[in-house]
Structure 1
Amino acid sequence: MNSPTSSAAPRRPHRQRLAVTVALTAAALTLSALPATAGTGPDTAAPTAQLRVKANPAHQATSITPAHRKQLLAEKADKAPATARTLKLGAHEKLIPKDVVLDADGTVHTRYDRTYAGLPVIGGDLVVHEGPAGRTVTYASQTAPAVPTTTAEVPAATAKKTALGKAADQGTRKAKAGKAPRLVVWTAGGKARLAWQTVVTGVQKDGSPSERHVVTDAASETVLANAEHIRSAEGRSLYSGTVTIGSTRRDDGSYELVDPQRGGHRTLDATATSAGVLFTDTDDVWGDGTAADPQTAAVDAAYGAQTTWDFYHDRFGRNGIADDGRGSYSRVHYQATPGVPLANANWQDGCFCMSYGDGADGKHPVTSLDIAAHEMAHGVTSATAGLGDFGESPALNEAISDMMAAAVEFHADNPADVPDYLMAELDDLHGDGKPIRYMDEPSKAGISAVGYAPLDYWSPETKNAEAHMAAGVGAHFFYLLAEGSGKKTINGVAYDSPTYDGLPVTGIGLTSATDVMYRALTVYMTSTTDYPGARTATLRAAADLYGAQSDGYEAVANAWAGVNLGIGYVNHIGVERPATEPVATGQPVSRRIVASSTRPGALAYSARSLPRGLSIDPASGLISGTPDKAGEYDTAITITNGEGDTRTLAFTWTVVESGGHYFTNPTHFVIPEHGTVESPMVVRGRPGSAPSDLKVTVDITHPFGLAMVIDLVAPDGTVVPVKPWGPWVLGPDLHATYTVDASAVSAVGTWKLRVFDGTPGIFDMDEGELQGWSMSF
């Protein structure tokens, strides 16, 4: 395989993500292209009391009636062709309005699905923001949905058979595809492909209904997605005491469990049939507070539905889960199979309903308020951002449900269920007396049924974790944003939330944290949003609500930094810690310190004890020059903002010897996925030609290191092959020395090591990294 030429790629913290926002306002945070690196010195700030933030009323979403919402969507549908032309979409592309949010200042945020030649485009959704400040657009993906043909090479019957098999592989029992596969255009993976989408129904391993969406390439039959769409959470009953619930009197004087004030929400008994039978009663007094009475579970389910409805209505003016005034329905005593109780609860978009089991022993209905709110939040997410089935989106979906479940509990403030940041805290699901989730430190839950512990912090590998485990990152962020880090007691519950970098985080309160998340979800997130995208969305939401120069904005950034995502602010200055891997004598260095401040004015940079031969530009923060002396340097970089606030980063910088018979460049370079990177090296003091036995040593981290194609580019442009593609063996990293004949070229000048990622295109993974290389003459 030949490796295409490409310019050198600077090291960056993680791969390019799908969600892209264009025409950002000045409120958007400037992100550095330099990574945070281990080995940097202390960076401290004194903790403060919980921040008080004041929202900008102009950027608060206003409550609109279902009729007004319907009218706005109709207007947007009429204007959709013109909007598509304005956005320069292709001739075969059409926009379909899905949701609309109206701000107090008149800004309208319209969420669109997209089609191509009449086919749904998965990953093609976008949000248009139109207001006094102009128009901006948030895209789920920048990938154009154009495909060479809309005729599938793989027959629908073959796609269906593949989908059924793949669903079964993931644990779906009694799998069947009730509807024929539909053709779609898949753009979520960064490349437009014609694909089949098959909906496979059946039963999950725990007995819950299964609705699995399997997407297969219509040309190669490759499975592009295989995701469960029925969202479930573990739990048993957690009763809420004596509550008032909505019911309706019938003509015969009896009552049915239909809530007339909340869209006609119905509560059904699924003991005898999965479809459920409406609960009725003669005296409108429901249940007796024990699991022995079948109506008790119905009371909890109805209470959960009405409390969640009221939370969204009272806080955000939302009229029901889909904001259309329509009530869902709840089924209690749902069974995995006839006679086998379901130890779970779930939300299902297909029926717009909740299903509650009775626990593994059939005696503990899974009807707690936090579980009900968690599951119904999945419905809100589906009706808004529509977080998809790939990457970190499912984990973010789960995390948002945990966030909103906590918010609903605190909103209800029921003394029988004291609000907290725990899930199912009175339930002994695992027989250990512990809650199933801790938002202040998710890993405290220990090893789960899937064999992993919830994650406290983000990393590039988070996208590979099981969704409920990876949801810990988002839940931890939300707790830090609401309450801050460190030890505290809230409503009698002790918390002690750590941060990744050890820096304290000051919270803004649950109400403000929930405001930020809801606006980010409903206005800025899309189907492809991952955790880095969620960070961007919440910062935009905070800028809307509180201003980009506010403590609230800084708090959002600091909470994300607390879970190892992005930069935080100390003394109102945010800075990406510089790459501090070693440099070499005689090798040019160019590394920029990128910082931002929430305070006005330009930043100034200064440095102490840089490696000899290097200097820093006081205006740009660019460190450049050529080191001329090896050793360890205790370097400190100080950034000063326009108001005189300062922030100092201290770290040890190593300079290694390069010259004579041995030349090295230890600077790290990202190897783009299926792309090319070049690392330069200057050779001096070697007159004449290079040797015929030149030793080239490379250090590469990559899941498929042997798939890398490596060439040496001599100073005159001559390409000397170092390593061909293969062999095809799964083996991470590549640390090897190769002997090449370079006697045809002169030694002095700038050499380049060129690395091409030859991993087959069917694999989707993070970039690798060239961690350094050397030549021995």
Structure 2
Amino acid sequence: MINKYSAATLLLLGGLTSTTLAQDFSRVKSRELDENGMPALIEFRTQGGAYQLSEAKTALREQLQLATDDQLSLLKTETDELGFVHEKYQQFYKGIKVEHGTYSVHARQGRVALLNGHFEKVRSLNTTPSLDAAAALTRALAFVGARTYMWQDAAEEAGLRQQENNAAATYAPKGELVVVKNHRSTNALRAGQPTLAWKFNVYAKAPLSRAFIYVDAHSGEIVLKDDIIKHAAATGTFATKYSGTKTATTDSYNGTFRLRDVSRGSGIQTYNCKKGSSYTAAVDFTDADNSWTEYNNANFDNAALDAHYGAQSTYDYFKNIHGRNSYNNAGAAIKNYVHFDDTPGDGVGYENAFWDGTRMTYGDGATRFDPLTSLDVAAHEIGHAVCSSSANLTYSNESGALNEGFSDIWGACVEYYKDASKATWLIGEDIDKVRPALRSMSNPNAEGQPDTYKGTSWYSGTGDNGGVHYNSGVLNHWFYRLAVGGSGTNDIGSVFSVAGIGIDKAGRIAYRTETVYLTASSNYAAARTGSIQAAKDLYGAGSAEEQAVTNAWFAVGVGAAYGGTTTPPPTTVTYCASKGTSVAYEWIDYVKLGTIARTSAADAGYYNGTATSTSIAAGSSQTISFSAGFASTAYTEYWDIYIDYNQDGDFTDAGETVVTGSSASAATLTGTFTVPTTAKTGATRLRVVLSDASATTSCNSYSYGETEDYTVNITGGATLAPAGVTSLMGGSSLSNSVEQAITVFPNPAADVLNISLASKALVVLAMVTDLRGARVSNARFENGQLHVAGLAKGIYLLTVSDGQKSFHQKFVKE
């Protein structure tokens, strides 16, 4: 249906007159612009000609310079504990909702103090759709490509009608016409542009997914996918799996007790999916005497106690610390579903937990995880629900990283609130069977995340919705620094010092930032602005808390330190171009050195990975791993790897060719080199060149192959140019140095791929990704064998781990 509002409900236009401009100078204290040049935050003077709250619409009209086709409609009004009144408005263009376009008015003592949000400048957009909703839905479903959908399951439909107490309730998507930015187009003229689109809420049952799918109402192109599922009275005695013995609220029913709590909001309910995927078939967990001590069994039923206790703990944290009544601040029921399995009967547990917009769902885990019901995971997933009811951060790129990061923050805060003896700064430490934790807030690099904006391990690709689970490390580390403090030098060379304010104050600032100042499209810059303002609101302008917030952002590479000081950027040098003109036959598909670890398809002959870096010490021995991707036959290729040790902008000095040789192998190759003790301290260029011609140098365009550039940070080195020669890898021939740490056979494989490690160690994890870097789910690993019958034909990358190290190998599914 077309969703339009009557003109009477909308805030209409107004021009910015010369009188308005004069008033603007007397009213506005400061103004911050977003990346599109639109006001992101406007702070007003408290005296003089300040707007009254009754003039909120005038303030918006004048400050945003609304045109004839622009409208803002009041969504809600709230008053907080500081006495602020917050009015949130939704943007419309010609009566059509502008997705992610919201703007807020913040008033105190009857005067408008701040405006902030995201306003999308839309001009000359054709709002008459060429495709109707039915045709657009066909495109959306073809994009999702599920085998079955929730509305096709009669039992799920009946369950929804009962849950909503609405005989007409259905999971079947209904089209809503909106204006949204095109996030997926490869056409430079359309990418990032406001687009008329049909929006559908598509809930797939198999394979499981739920997302808002946006379809261009003219071309039928998919312009955005925004995931909704984000990848986790009586007093009973609980022998939980992860948190020891706890007391928790249950209810007495028909002579027994069940995991239901009516004392918190509209209730907390925990159900048993019985290792199936049906919510309507789920049943209560029950106990005869309300002493739940016999649940430590082979079925991991004690994990249900953690889910129930975790939901109660999370509810209590938000209620007692932030005054929030459940995730939606209106007492919504929290429903948990344990022992969920999206592929029942295959003998492999579901390795995830998620919030689907309605309920919590927990898998039992398999190779990587134990049941995913630990306290921090429960708080993390319910944190997604808090986000969807407040900032509603779009689940992609930087806004998606913030979405994930805030959920990790709430995981840490709830753990600290309920049990300070737990590892507050580790996420998923109770459930991870392979690594110390899923993520580390104190040291994100330890688990492959960045701790600095666009620093080491920053992900700039399209996988993982633009790196939402990777780049959240920056927000995590900001929160850690804000709470704990510390000093040092970050990945981009900034020397920082932060005076920690404790997790309680840090949590209050983070909560106000997310629920008051962020909008759906907020990025890291907006998070910095919002959190500084939140600190001012709570503790005063110029306070120690505001200074700590600002300095913590500087520590993670976002904005200047308090007082505007920044570390002067290092002197930059210009490097020569190096690029293959064709990747039709071969390309670089894997490079690993330290924390640099990139798997890729062809990159049009050159990839600029200088935003990704690793540290190497002067005098240390280093091993670099790399491999070639081939369209078919593995040809003889020439490898040359360079490091500009003296940082003079070229790779021609003695010892700067660290690896050279040839190979006709698609396997992972390795080279070992020693960093000269005379190498210059600081960031410099690492260049990897693959070419079919032996005469290719570090600086030229060549016919077939690819070049990739990265950054290495040399520590403990000299301030002078290096002298001497590094040791080369295994002589002059790469073919003598193929890393045989992993063997797979047969390759190509039709049904089963056998995996073994040269070390004879047990393989504890096997993961398959396609050449885009996207994880493939329909390959099952057990007893040293990878079952690949369900994969489409093609080339895949296999990553296996013995619990300590990871190894990579390509294989072909025939």
Q: TM-score range by the shorter chain?
A: 0.5 to 0.7
Tell me, in whole angstroms, the C-alpha distance in 2 between the residues paired with 1:302 and 1:555.
36
Instruction: Please report how far the alpha carbon of residue 362 of structure 1 lies from its aligned counterpart in structure 2 after TM superposition.
Output: 11
The residue identity in structure 2 corresponding to 1:484 is G
Match of 1:427 in 2: 431
Provide structure 2 residue ranges, at least 5 long, that are not aligned to the other structure. 1-32, 47-52, 152-171, 184-191, 233-239, 575-647, 649-705, 710-814
Match of 1:253 in 2: 255
Match of 1:179 in 2: 173
Tell me, in whole angstroms, the C-alpha distance in 2 between the residues paired with 1:268 and 1:131.
45
Contact 1:254 1:281 (C-alpha < 8 Å) held by counterparts: yes
Match of 2:552 in 1: 559
- Check 1:139–1:545 CA distance in 2 against 1; reply closer, same or farther (3 A cut): closer
Contact 2:182 2:223 (C-alpha < 8 Å) held by counterparts: no
Tell me, in whole angstroms, the C-alpha distance in 1 between the residues paired with 2:525 and 2:480.
18
Tell me, in whole angstroms, the C-alpha distance in 2 between the residues paired with 1:226 and 1:382.
15
Contact 2:493 2:567 (C-alpha < 8 Å) held by counterparts: no
Structure 1 SS opposite 2:97? strand
Tell me, in whole angstroms, the C-alpha distance in 2 between the residues paired with 1:15 and 1:145.
15
Match of 2:443 in 1: 441
Q: Aligned ranges for residues 623-772 of structure 1 at < 5 Å?
A: none
Match of 2:278 in 1: 274
CA offsets 1:531-573 (integer angstroms, 9 cap, x no match) = 111011111111112222122212111111111111113xx55
Match of 2:404 in 1: 398
Q: Aligned ranges for residues 133-144 of structure 1 at < 5 Å?
A: 134-136=111-113, 138-144=115-121
- Check 1:566–1:83 CA distance in 2 against 1; reply closer, same or farther (3 A cut): closer
Structure 2 SS opposite 1:504? strand
Instruction: Please report how far the alpha carbon of residue 97 of structure 1 lies from its aligned counterpart in structure 2 after TM superposition.
Output: 4.9
Match of 1:448 in 2: none
Contact 2:258 2:285 (C-alpha < 8 Å) held by counterparts: yes
- Check 1:325–1:497 CA distance in 2 against 1; reply closer, same or farther (3 A cut): farther
- Check 1:279–1:118 CA distance in 2 against 1; reply closer, same or farther (3 A cut): farther
Match of 2:565 in 1: 574
Q: TM-score, normalised by structure 2?
A: 0.55
- Check 1:112–1:224 CA distance in 2 against 1; reply closer, same or farther (3 A cut): same
Instruction: Please report how far the alpha carbon of residue 225 of structure 1 lies from its aligned counterpart in structure 2 after TM superposition.
Output: 1.0
1:342 aligned to 340, 350, 369, which one?
350
Structure 1 SS opposite 2:432? coil
Q: Aligned ranges for residues 3-18 of structure 1 at < 5 Å?
A: 16=35
Match of 2:79 in 1: 102
Instruction: Please report how far the alpha carbon of residue 499 of structure 1 lies from its aligned counterpart in structure 2 after TM superposition.
Output: 8.5
Match of 2:450 in 1: 455
Provide structure 1 residue ranges, at least 5 long, that are not aligned to the other structure. 1-13, 28-75, 446-452, 488-495, 584-653, 655-729, 734-777
Match of 2:331 in 1: 325
1:24 aligned to 26, 30, 43, which one?
43
Q: Aligned ranges for residues 273-672 of structure 1 at < 5 Å?
A: 274-275=278-279, 276-292=282-298, 295-340=301-346, 341-349=349-357, 352-360=358-366, 364-413=370-419, 418-429=422-433, 431=434, 433-445=435-447, 453-459=448-454, 464=461, 465-485=466-486, 501-569=494-562, 572=563, 574-575=565-566, 577=568
CA offsets 1:635-660 (integer angstroms, 9 cap, x no match) = xxxxxxxxxxxxxxxxxxx9xxxxxx
- Check 1:215–1:477 CA distance in 2 against 1; reply closer, same or farther (3 A cut): same
CA offsets 1:289-313 (integer angstroms, 9 cap, x no match) = 5243664222111100000000001
CA offsets 1:663-685 (integer angstroms, 9 cap, x no match) = xxxxxxxxxxxxxxxxxxxxxxx
Contact 1:330 1:353 (C-alpha < 8 Å) held by counterparts: yes
The residue identity in structure 2 corresponding to 1:378 is H
Instruction: Please report how far the alpha carbon of residue 144 of structure 1 lies from its aligned counterpart in structure 2 after TM superposition.
Output: 3.6
Q: Indicate the structure whose relative CO is greater, using CA pairs within 8 Å and at least 6 residues apart.
A: 1
Tell me, in whole angstroms, the C-alpha distance in 2 between the residues paired with 1:558 and 1:238.
39
The residue identity in structure 1 corresponding to 2:246 is V
2:109 aligned to 126, 132, 149, which one?
132
Instruction: Please report how far the alpha carbon of residue 398 of structure 1 lies from its aligned counterpart in structure 2 after TM superposition.
Output: 0.2
Match of 1:228 in 2: 227
Q: Aligned ranges for residues 30-41 of structure 1 at < 5 Å?
A: none
Contact 2:214 2:222 (C-alpha < 8 Å) held by counterparts: yes
- Check 1:203–1:444 CA distance in 2 against 1; reply closer, same or farther (3 A cut): farther
The residue identity in structure 1 corresponding to 2:106 is H
Contact 2:241 2:302 (C-alpha < 8 Å) held by counterparts: no
Contact 1:387 1:397 (C-alpha < 8 Å) held by counterparts: yes
The residue identity in structure 1 corresponding to 2:438 is I
The residue identity in structure 2 corresponding to 1:122 is E
Instruction: Please report how far the alpha carbon of residue 215 of structure 1 lies from its aligned counterpart in structure 2 after TM superposition.
Output: 1.4
Tell me, in whole angstroms, the C-alpha distance in 2 between the residues paired with 1:579 and 1:265.
55
Instruction: Please report how far the alpha carbon of residue 133 of structure 1 lies from its aligned counterpart in structure 2 after TM superposition.
Output: 7.2
Match of 1:681 in 2: none
**Percent identity, aligned pairs only?**
33
2:244 aligned to 241, 245, 250, which one?
241
- Check 1:333–1:135 CA distance in 2 against 1; reply closer, same or farther (3 A cut): same
CA offsets 1:104-158 (integer angstroms, 9 cap, x no match) = 4532112333444553320211211122373255454332456544321134344
Instruction: Please report how far the alpha carbon of residue 173 of structure 1 lies from its aligned counterpart in structure 2 after TM superposition.
Output: 5.8
Tell me, in whole angstroms, the C-alpha distance in 2 between the residues paired with 1:15 and 1:262.
40
Structure 2 SS opposite 1:270? strand
Matched residue pairs, number?
Answer: 496
Match of 2:747 in 1: none
Match of 1:159 in 2: 136
Match of 1:623 in 2: none
The residue identity in structure 1 corresponding to 2:35 is Q
Tell me, in whole angstroms, the C-alpha distance in 2 between the residues paired with 1:261 and 1:499.
50
**381-390 or 299-308, larger mean C-alpha shift:** 381-390
The residue identity in structure 1 corresponding to 2:565 is G
Contact 1:101 1:110 (C-alpha < 8 Å) held by counterparts: yes
Tell me, in whole angstroms, the C-alpha distance in 2 between the residues paired with 1:355 and 1:577.
48
Contact 2:450 2:474 (C-alpha < 8 Å) held by counterparts: yes
Contact 1:19 1:139 (C-alpha < 8 Å) held by counterparts: no
